[in-house]
Structure 1
Protein backbone atom coordinates (compact mmCIF):
# COMPACT_ATOMS: atom_id res chain seq x y z
CA UNK A 1 0.00 0.00 0.00
CA UNK A 2 0.92 3.63 -0.45
CA UNK A 3 -0.12 6.78 1.35
CA UNK A 4 -1.88 7.82 -1.87
CA UNK A 5 -4.51 5.14 -1.20
CA UNK A 6 -5.42 6.88 2.05
CA UNK A 7 -5.39 10.32 0.48
CA UNK A 8 -7.73 9.08 -2.24
CA UNK A 9 -10.19 7.03 -0.21
CA UNK A 10 -10.10 9.16 2.99
CA UNK A 11 -12.27 6.88 5.16
CA UNK A 12 -10.95 3.96 7.22
CA UNK A 13 -14.08 2.17 8.37
CA UNK A 14 -13.36 0.52 11.73
CA UNK A 15 -15.02 -2.86 12.23
CA UNK A 16 -15.20 -3.96 15.85
CA UNK A 17 -17.37 -6.47 17.67
CA UNK A 18 -19.29 -7.88 14.71
CA UNK A 19 -19.95 -11.58 14.12
CA UNK A 20 -17.91 -13.45 11.56
CA UNK A 21 -21.05 -14.59 9.77
CA UNK A 22 -22.11 -10.95 9.20
CA UNK A 23 -18.73 -9.81 7.91
CA UNK A 24 -19.14 -10.51 4.20
CA UNK A 25 -22.43 -8.64 3.88
CA UNK A 26 -21.09 -5.75 5.95
CA UNK A 27 -17.97 -5.51 3.79
CA UNK A 28 -20.00 -5.82 0.60
CA UNK A 29 -22.32 -3.02 1.71
CA UNK A 30 -19.37 -0.78 2.51
CA UNK A 31 -17.80 -1.58 -0.85
CA UNK A 32 -20.99 -0.74 -2.74
CA UNK A 33 -21.09 2.66 -1.02
CA UNK A 34 -17.51 3.53 -1.95
CA UNK A 35 -15.58 2.54 1.19
CA UNK A 36 -12.25 0.95 0.28
CA UNK A 37 -10.29 0.87 3.57
CA UNK A 38 -11.45 -1.45 6.39
CA UNK A 39 -9.81 -1.88 9.78
CA UNK A 40 -10.71 -5.04 11.70
CA UNK A 41 -9.73 -4.63 15.35
CA UNK A 42 -7.96 -7.61 16.86
CA UNK A 43 -10.16 -7.49 19.96
CA UNK A 44 -13.03 -8.62 17.73
CA UNK A 45 -13.91 -12.30 18.04
CA UNK A 46 -12.38 -14.32 15.16
CA UNK A 47 -10.60 -11.19 13.93
CA UNK A 48 -7.72 -13.02 12.26
CA UNK A 49 -10.11 -15.35 10.45
CA UNK A 50 -12.17 -12.35 9.37
CA UNK A 51 -9.10 -10.54 8.05
CA UNK A 52 -7.99 -13.65 6.18
CA UNK A 53 -11.36 -14.38 4.60
CA UNK A 54 -12.28 -10.79 3.74
CA UNK A 55 -8.84 -9.89 2.37
CA UNK A 56 -9.12 -12.84 -0.02
CA UNK A 57 -12.76 -12.22 -0.85
CA UNK A 58 -12.19 -8.55 -1.68
CA UNK A 59 -8.67 -8.82 -3.06
CA UNK A 60 -8.05 -6.04 -5.54
CA UNK A 61 -11.22 -4.22 -4.50
CA UNK A 62 -10.70 -3.25 -0.85
CA UNK A 63 -7.77 -2.95 1.54
CA UNK A 64 -8.32 -4.89 4.76
CA UNK A 65 -6.14 -3.97 7.72
CA UNK A 66 -5.74 -4.91 11.37
CA UNK A 67 -6.30 -2.54 14.28
CA UNK A 68 -5.68 -2.57 18.04
CA UNK A 69 -2.34 -4.24 17.38
CA UNK A 70 -0.51 -4.02 20.70
CA UNK A 71 2.60 -6.15 20.27
CA UNK A 72 5.06 -7.34 17.62
CA UNK A 73 3.58 -10.83 17.96
CA UNK A 74 0.09 -9.53 17.19
CA UNK A 75 1.49 -7.65 14.22
CA UNK A 76 3.07 -10.82 12.85
CA UNK A 77 -0.22 -12.71 13.25
CA UNK A 78 -2.19 -9.96 11.50
CA UNK A 79 0.24 -9.76 8.60
CA UNK A 80 0.24 -13.55 8.23
CA UNK A 81 -3.56 -13.44 8.12
CA UNK A 82 -3.39 -11.03 5.18
CA UNK A 83 -3.63 -7.55 6.69
CA UNK A 84 -2.57 -4.94 4.14
CA UNK A 85 -2.01 -2.31 6.82
CA UNK A 86 -1.56 -2.39 10.59
CA UNK A 87 -2.74 0.13 13.18
CA UNK A 88 -1.43 0.41 16.72
CA UNK A 89 -3.34 2.28 19.44
CA UNK A 90 -0.12 3.50 21.07
CA UNK A 91 3.49 4.23 20.20
CA UNK A 92 5.06 0.79 20.50
CA UNK A 93 8.35 1.22 18.69
CA UNK A 94 9.07 -2.49 18.38
CA UNK A 95 5.66 -3.11 16.85
CA UNK A 96 6.22 -0.33 14.32
CA UNK A 97 9.61 -1.82 13.42
CA UNK A 98 8.10 -5.29 13.06
CA UNK A 99 5.43 -4.04 10.66
CA UNK A 100 7.91 -2.11 8.54
CA UNK A 101 10.39 -5.02 8.39
CA UNK A 102 7.56 -7.04 6.88
CA UNK A 103 7.07 -4.35 4.23
CA UNK A 104 3.56 -3.53 5.44
CA UNK A 105 1.98 -0.07 5.77
CA UNK A 106 1.96 1.11 9.40
CA UNK A 107 -0.36 3.56 11.16
CA UNK A 108 0.70 4.23 14.75
CA UNK A 109 -1.56 5.77 17.37
CA UNK A 110 -0.34 8.85 19.26
CA UNK A 111 -1.63 12.03 20.86
CA UNK A 112 1.05 14.42 22.07
CA UNK A 113 3.54 16.11 19.74
CA UNK A 114 6.34 14.06 21.29
CA UNK A 115 4.47 10.78 20.70
CA UNK A 116 3.54 11.80 17.17
CA UNK A 117 7.12 12.65 16.23
CA UNK A 118 8.46 9.49 17.89
CA UNK A 119 6.06 7.31 15.93
CA UNK A 120 6.91 9.01 12.64
CA UNK A 121 10.67 8.95 13.19
CA UNK A 122 10.48 5.24 13.95
CA UNK A 123 8.83 4.43 10.64
CA UNK A 124 5.09 4.97 10.94
CA UNK A 125 3.70 5.88 7.52
CA UNK A 126 0.74 7.67 9.05
CA UNK A 127 0.03 8.70 12.63
CA UNK A 128 -3.41 8.09 14.12
CA UNK A 129 -4.42 10.95 16.39
CA UNK A 130 -6.64 9.53 19.15
CA UNK A 131 -8.98 10.64 20.62
CA UNK A 132 -9.46 13.26 17.94
CA UNK A 133 -13.05 14.09 18.81
CA UNK A 134 -12.13 14.96 22.38
CA UNK A 135 -9.20 17.13 21.29
CA UNK A 136 -11.17 18.87 18.54
CA UNK A 137 -10.39 19.96 15.02
CA UNK A 138 -8.26 22.90 16.18
CA UNK A 139 -5.79 20.44 17.69
CA UNK A 140 -5.14 19.00 14.22
CA UNK A 141 -4.63 22.53 12.90
CA UNK A 142 -2.23 23.33 15.74
CA UNK A 143 -0.15 20.22 15.05
CA UNK A 144 0.39 21.34 11.48
CA UNK A 145 2.39 24.29 12.80
CA UNK A 146 5.42 22.46 14.23
CA UNK A 147 4.84 19.11 12.49
CA UNK A 148 3.60 19.88 8.96
CA UNK A 149 5.49 16.94 7.46
CA UNK A 150 3.62 14.29 9.45
CA UNK A 151 0.45 12.89 7.80
CA UNK A 152 -2.33 12.24 10.30
CA UNK A 153 -5.46 10.13 10.68
CA UNK A 154 -7.77 11.61 13.30
CA UNK A 155 -9.73 8.81 14.97
CA UNK A 156 -12.29 8.65 17.75
CA UNK A 157 -15.37 10.86 17.81
CA UNK A 158 -15.39 11.37 14.04
CA UNK A 159 -18.94 11.67 12.75
CA UNK A 160 -20.93 13.12 9.90
CA UNK A 161 -20.97 16.59 11.50
CA UNK A 162 -17.21 17.07 11.83
CA UNK A 163 -15.61 14.81 9.20
CA UNK A 164 -15.19 17.50 6.56
CA UNK A 165 -13.72 19.90 9.14
CA UNK A 166 -10.99 17.42 10.06
CA UNK A 167 -10.14 16.87 6.41
CA UNK A 168 -10.06 20.61 5.79
CA UNK A 169 -7.74 20.98 8.79
CA UNK A 170 -5.18 18.84 6.99
CA UNK A 171 -5.98 15.25 7.92
CA UNK A 172 -4.87 12.69 5.35
CA UNK A 173 -7.71 10.30 6.20
CA UNK A 174 -10.19 9.60 9.00
CA UNK A 175 -10.68 6.57 11.23
CA UNK A 176 -14.43 6.10 11.66
CA UNK A 177 -15.95 3.57 14.05
CA UNK A 178 -19.56 3.29 15.17
CA UNK A 179 -20.58 6.32 13.13
CA UNK A 180 -20.58 3.87 10.22
CA UNK A 181 -20.38 0.27 11.49
CA UNK A 182 -22.18 -0.64 14.70
CA UNK A 183 -20.22 -3.09 16.84
CA UNK A 184 -22.86 -5.73 17.39
CA UNK A 185 -23.55 -9.32 16.54
CA UNK A 186 -26.57 -10.58 14.68
CA UNK A 187 -27.17 -7.88 12.08
CA UNK A 188 -30.76 -7.70 10.85
CA UNK A 189 -32.14 -6.24 7.64
CA UNK A 190 -32.71 -2.86 9.24
CA UNK A 191 -29.09 -2.81 10.46
CA UNK A 192 -27.81 -3.29 6.92
CA UNK A 193 -30.16 -0.56 5.68
CA UNK A 194 -28.82 1.80 8.34
CA UNK A 195 -25.23 0.80 7.50
CA UNK A 196 -25.76 1.55 3.83
CA UNK A 197 -27.18 4.99 4.57
CA UNK A 198 -24.41 5.89 7.00
CA UNK A 199 -21.68 4.76 4.60
CA UNK A 200 -23.26 6.66 1.72
CA UNK A 201 -23.53 9.89 3.71
CA UNK A 202 -19.98 9.63 5.01
CA UNK A 203 -18.64 9.02 1.53
CA UNK A 204 -20.52 12.02 0.17
CA UNK A 205 -19.32 14.32 2.94
CA UNK A 206 -15.68 13.27 2.61
CA UNK A 207 -15.57 13.40 -1.19
CA UNK A 208 -17.72 16.44 -1.93
CA UNK A 209 -14.72 18.72 -2.43
Structure 2
Protein backbone atom coordinates (compact mmCIF):
# COMPACT_ATOMS: atom_id res chain seq x y z
CA UNK A 1 0.00 0.00 0.00
CA UNK A 2 1.40 3.38 -1.00
CA UNK A 3 1.96 6.04 1.63
CA UNK A 4 -0.62 8.45 0.24
CA UNK A 5 -3.21 5.67 0.06
CA UNK A 6 -2.65 4.82 3.72
CA UNK A 7 -3.07 8.44 4.76
CA UNK A 8 -6.26 8.70 2.74
CA UNK A 9 -7.70 5.58 4.37
CA UNK A 10 -6.95 6.98 7.84
CA UNK A 11 -8.64 10.28 7.02
CA UNK A 12 -11.59 8.63 5.28
CA UNK A 13 -12.16 6.36 8.28
CA UNK A 14 -11.91 9.17 10.80
CA UNK A 15 -11.29 6.75 13.67
CA UNK A 16 -8.06 4.99 14.66
CA UNK A 17 -8.58 2.18 17.17
CA UNK A 18 -5.76 2.20 19.72
CA UNK A 19 -5.28 -1.40 20.83
CA UNK A 20 -3.84 -2.01 24.29
CA UNK A 21 -4.12 -5.44 25.84
CA UNK A 22 -2.72 -7.63 28.60
CA UNK A 23 -1.79 -10.46 26.24
CA UNK A 24 -1.41 -11.36 22.59
CA UNK A 25 -4.61 -13.40 22.71
CA UNK A 26 -6.62 -10.53 24.15
CA UNK A 27 -5.11 -8.11 21.65
CA UNK A 28 -6.25 -10.21 18.71
CA UNK A 29 -9.76 -10.58 20.20
CA UNK A 30 -10.00 -6.80 20.60
CA UNK A 31 -8.88 -6.26 17.01
CA UNK A 32 -11.52 -8.70 15.74
CA UNK A 33 -14.24 -7.00 17.81
CA UNK A 34 -13.25 -3.51 16.67
CA UNK A 35 -13.16 -4.57 13.04
CA UNK A 36 -16.65 -6.09 13.32
CA UNK A 37 -17.80 -2.68 14.51
CA UNK A 38 -16.58 -1.04 11.33
CA UNK A 39 -13.25 0.45 12.37
CA UNK A 40 -10.51 -0.78 10.03
CA UNK A 41 -7.62 1.47 11.08
CA UNK A 42 -5.97 -0.53 13.85
CA UNK A 43 -3.07 0.71 15.95
CA UNK A 44 -1.34 -1.95 18.05
CA UNK A 45 0.66 -0.23 20.78
CA UNK A 46 4.13 -1.28 21.80
CA UNK A 47 2.91 -1.54 25.39
CA UNK A 48 1.13 -4.78 24.44
CA UNK A 49 3.06 -7.99 25.12
CA UNK A 50 4.45 -9.40 21.85
CA UNK A 51 3.12 -6.34 19.98
CA UNK A 52 5.43 -6.82 17.00
CA UNK A 53 4.32 -10.45 16.69
CA UNK A 54 0.67 -9.34 16.80
CA UNK A 55 1.33 -6.83 14.01
CA UNK A 56 3.01 -9.53 11.95
CA UNK A 57 0.16 -12.00 12.51
CA UNK A 58 -2.57 -9.45 11.76
CA UNK A 59 -0.76 -8.27 8.66
CA UNK A 60 -0.84 -11.82 7.35
CA UNK A 61 -4.48 -12.39 8.31
CA UNK A 62 -5.63 -9.22 6.54
CA UNK A 63 -3.10 -9.12 3.71
CA UNK A 64 -5.85 -9.54 1.11
CA UNK A 65 -8.21 -7.05 2.74
CA UNK A 66 -7.34 -3.59 1.43
CA UNK A 67 -9.75 -1.90 3.82
CA UNK A 68 -7.83 -2.99 6.93
CA UNK A 69 -4.76 -0.94 7.81
CA UNK A 70 -2.53 -2.25 10.60
CA UNK A 71 -0.21 0.21 12.31
CA UNK A 72 2.02 0.50 15.37
CA UNK A 73 1.56 2.89 18.27
CA UNK A 74 3.60 4.11 21.25
CA UNK A 75 6.71 3.90 19.08
CA UNK A 76 9.45 5.76 20.93
CA UNK A 77 12.45 5.36 18.64
CA UNK A 78 13.53 4.55 15.07
CA UNK A 79 14.71 1.06 16.00
CA UNK A 80 11.22 0.08 17.14
CA UNK A 81 9.68 1.78 14.12
CA UNK A 82 11.84 -0.29 11.77
CA UNK A 83 10.95 -3.53 13.56
CA UNK A 84 7.26 -2.69 13.23
CA UNK A 85 7.59 -1.82 9.55
CA UNK A 86 9.36 -5.11 8.87
CA UNK A 87 6.52 -6.88 10.69
CA UNK A 88 4.01 -5.27 8.33
CA UNK A 89 2.94 -2.02 10.01
CA UNK A 90 1.58 0.42 7.44
CA UNK A 91 1.88 3.48 9.67
CA UNK A 92 3.69 4.53 12.83
CA UNK A 93 2.32 6.57 15.74
CA UNK A 94 4.44 8.15 18.48
CA UNK A 95 3.41 9.82 21.74
CA UNK A 96 6.06 12.52 21.21
CA UNK A 97 8.13 14.19 18.53
CA UNK A 98 11.26 12.18 17.69
CA UNK A 99 12.97 13.52 14.54
CA UNK A 100 14.96 10.32 13.95
CA UNK A 101 11.78 8.22 13.98
CA UNK A 102 10.15 10.53 11.44
CA UNK A 103 13.24 10.44 9.22
CA UNK A 104 13.33 6.64 9.28
CA UNK A 105 9.65 6.39 8.36
CA UNK A 106 10.16 8.89 5.53
CA UNK A 107 13.07 6.80 4.29
CA UNK A 108 10.76 3.81 3.85
CA UNK A 109 7.76 5.90 2.74
CA UNK A 110 5.65 4.90 5.74
CA UNK A 111 3.28 7.50 7.24
CA UNK A 112 4.21 8.63 10.73
CA UNK A 113 2.06 10.52 13.22
CA UNK A 114 4.22 12.14 15.90
CA UNK A 115 2.76 13.40 19.14
CA UNK A 116 2.69 17.19 19.53
CA UNK A 117 1.65 19.53 22.37
CA UNK A 118 2.77 22.94 21.14
CA UNK A 119 2.79 25.02 17.97
CA UNK A 120 6.57 24.67 17.97
CA UNK A 121 6.21 20.85 17.99
CA UNK A 122 3.68 21.07 15.18
CA UNK A 123 5.89 23.26 13.00
CA UNK A 124 8.91 20.98 13.50
CA UNK A 125 6.81 17.90 12.67
CA UNK A 126 5.53 19.55 9.49
CA UNK A 127 9.05 20.56 8.47
CA UNK A 128 10.16 16.95 8.94
CA UNK A 129 7.38 15.77 6.60
CA UNK A 130 4.68 14.41 8.92
CA UNK A 131 1.26 14.58 7.23
CA UNK A 132 -0.89 13.98 10.32
CA UNK A 133 0.00 15.36 13.76
CA UNK A 134 -1.16 13.52 16.86
CA UNK A 135 -2.44 15.95 19.49
CA UNK A 136 -1.55 14.14 22.69
CA UNK A 137 -2.84 13.95 25.30
CA UNK A 138 -6.09 15.36 23.98
CA UNK A 139 -7.55 15.36 27.48
CA UNK A 140 -5.09 18.08 28.47
CA UNK A 141 -6.54 20.46 25.89
CA UNK A 142 -10.07 19.72 24.73
CA UNK A 143 -11.49 20.11 21.20
CA UNK A 144 -10.90 23.88 21.07
CA UNK A 145 -7.14 23.27 20.76
CA UNK A 146 -7.64 22.12 17.15
CA UNK A 147 -8.98 25.53 16.15
CA UNK A 148 -6.15 27.18 18.08
CA UNK A 149 -3.54 25.12 16.21
CA UNK A 150 -5.20 25.68 12.85
CA UNK A 151 -5.16 29.46 13.38
CA UNK A 152 -1.43 29.80 12.63
CA UNK A 153 -1.20 26.39 10.92
CA UNK A 154 -4.25 25.98 8.64
CA UNK A 155 -2.23 23.49 6.56
CA UNK A 156 -1.86 21.12 9.50
CA UNK A 157 -3.81 17.86 9.81
CA UNK A 158 -4.48 17.12 13.47
CA UNK A 159 -5.61 13.88 15.16
CA UNK A 160 -6.35 13.98 18.90
CA UNK A 161 -5.71 10.90 21.02
CA UNK A 162 -6.20 10.50 24.74
CA UNK A 163 -9.48 11.60 26.25
CA UNK A 164 -11.50 11.06 23.07
CA UNK A 165 -14.79 9.33 23.85
CA UNK A 166 -18.37 9.10 22.57
CA UNK A 167 -19.31 12.22 24.52
CA UNK A 168 -16.86 14.48 22.70
CA UNK A 169 -15.86 12.79 19.44
CA UNK A 170 -18.29 14.92 17.44
CA UNK A 171 -16.82 18.07 18.99
CA UNK A 172 -13.31 17.03 17.95
CA UNK A 173 -14.36 16.41 14.36
CA UNK A 174 -16.36 19.65 14.16
CA UNK A 175 -13.34 21.52 15.56
CA UNK A 176 -11.33 20.40 12.53
CA UNK A 177 -9.69 17.09 13.48
CA UNK A 178 -9.10 14.94 10.37
CA UNK A 179 -9.48 11.83 12.54
CA UNK A 180 -9.46 10.77 16.18
CA UNK A 181 -7.59 8.07 18.04
CA UNK A 182 -9.44 6.23 20.80
CA UNK A 183 -8.34 3.45 23.08
CA UNK A 184 -9.76 2.73 26.55
CA UNK A 185 -13.11 4.34 25.77
CA UNK A 186 -13.47 2.03 22.78
CA UNK A 187 -12.12 -1.20 24.21
CA UNK A 188 -13.30 -1.03 27.84
CA UNK A 189 -15.54 -4.05 27.32
CA UNK A 190 -12.47 -6.26 26.85
CA UNK A 191 -11.61 -5.90 30.54
CA UNK A 192 -14.61 -8.06 31.41
CA UNK A 193 -14.49 -10.21 28.29
CA UNK A 194 -17.46 -8.39 26.75
CA UNK A 195 -16.22 -8.14 23.18
CA UNK A 196 -19.73 -7.54 21.89
CA UNK A 197 -19.63 -4.25 23.82
CA UNK A 198 -16.37 -3.39 22.05
CA UNK A 199 -18.09 -4.02 18.70
CA UNK A 200 -21.12 -1.90 19.63
CA UNK A 201 -18.89 0.92 20.85
CA UNK A 202 -16.91 0.81 17.60
CA UNK A 203 -20.17 1.12 15.65
CA UNK A 204 -21.14 4.13 17.75
CA UNK A 205 -17.80 5.84 17.08
CA UNK A 206 -18.18 5.28 13.33
CA UNK A 207 -21.68 6.75 13.38
CA UNK A 208 -20.62 9.72 15.52
CA UNK A 209 -17.83 10.67 13.12
CA UNK A 210 -20.12 10.27 10.13
CA UNK A 211 -22.76 12.44 11.79
CA UNK A 212 -20.27 15.17 12.70
CA UNK A 213 -18.93 15.32 9.16
CA UNK A 214 -22.42 15.75 7.70
CA UNK A 215 -23.08 18.88 9.72
Partner of 2:156: 150
CA contact under 8 A between 2:189 and 2:197: conserved in structure 1? no
Q: Helix, strand or coil: the match of 1:65?
A: strand
2:138 maps to 1:132:
yes
Distance 2:111 2:203 in 1: 26
Unaligned runs of 5+ in 1: none
Match for residue 166 of structure 1?
172
Q: Alpha-carbon deviation of 1:92?
A: 0.5
- Alpha-carbon RMSD: 1.5
Which residue of 34, 55, 61 maps to 1:57? 61
1:195 and 1:156 map into 2 onto residues whose CA distance is 17
Q: What is the rounded CA distance, in whole Å, between the counterparts of 2:112 and 2:174 in structure 1?
A: 23
Q: Is the 8 A contact 2:132 2:157 kept in 1?
A: yes
State the partner residue of 2:108: 102
- What SS does structure 1 have at the residue aligned with 2:113? strand
Size of the alignment, in residue pairs?
206
Are 1:8 and 2:12 counterparts? yes
Question: Corresponding residue for 2:23?
Answer: 19
CA offset digits 1:26-68 (Å, max 9, x no partner):
2222222110101111121010000000111122231010011
Counterparts of 1:25 and 1:131, CA distance in 2: 26
- Residues 112/155 of structure 1: CA separation in 2 closer, same or farther (3 Å cut): same
- Residue segments in structure 2 that go unaligned for 5+ positions in a row: none
Q: Which residue of 31, 34, 41 corresponds with 1:30?
A: 34
Q: Residues 134-185 of structure 1, C-alpha deviation per residue, up to 9 Å, x if partnerless? A: 2011111111110010101011100001101111111010010101123967
Deviation sequence 1:63-98 (CA, Å, 0-9, x none)? 010011111101111101110000111111011000
- How far did residue 17 of structure 1 move? 2.4
**2:90 pairs with 1:84:** yes
Choose between structure 1 and 2: higher helix proportion.
2
Partner of residue 123, structure 2 = 117
CA distance in 2 between counterparts of 1:91 and 1:131 reads 13
Matched, 1:41 2:65: no
Change (3 A) 1:44 1:23: closer
Q: Please tell me whether the aligned partners of residues 162 and 182 of structure 2 are also in contact (alpha carbons under 8 angstroms).
A: yes
- What displacement does 1:21 show? 1.6
Secondary structure at the counterpart of residue 115 of structure 1: helix
Give 4+ residue runs of structure 1 displaced > 3 Å after superposition: 182-185
SS at match of 1:69: coil
Contact 2:116 2:136 in 1 (8 A): yes
Q: In structure 2, what is the Cα distance between the partners aligned to 1:100 and 1:184? A: 35
